[in-house]
């Protein structure tokens, strides 16, 4: 069973995009270089991965994605900052 990830990308215009995937590297490449990237991010390249967290299954990942999408940009940036402080 693959691990799912919830991720947040920062676009070139400093907006944030939230999604889920089983392969962060592949999905980031798609957002930056492929027509498979979301329409939102295709118009705002380059894209940088700024946050990710694992989930056990697609259902859990989808629920968490929805939760993150309900946050305003300030709250998302605080989440990103908190993760950065833990890892670095």
Residue 88, pLDDT score:
63
4 touches 52 (CB < 8 A): no
Residue 75, pLDDT score:
97
CA atoms lying within 13 Å on the CB side of residue 38: 16
Residue 78, pLDDT score:
97
Domains annotated on the chain, with CATH: 4-87 (3.40.1440.10)
Residue 9, pLDDT score:
98
Residue 70, pLDDT score:
98
Give average pLDDT by consecutive 10-residue segment, the chain, 88 residues.
95 98 97 94 96 97 98 97 84
């Amino acid at each position: 069973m693959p691990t799912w990830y919830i991720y947040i990308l920062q676009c070139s215009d400093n907006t944030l995009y939230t999604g889920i995937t089983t392969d962060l590297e592949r999905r980031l490449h798609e957002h930056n270089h492929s027509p498979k990237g979301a329409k939102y991010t295709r118009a705002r390249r380059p894209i940088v991965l700024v946050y990710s967290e694992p989930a056990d299954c697609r259902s859990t990942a989808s629920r968490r994605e929805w939760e993150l999408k309900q946050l305003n940009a300030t709250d998302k940036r605080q989440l990103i900052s908190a993760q950065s402080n833990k890892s670095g």
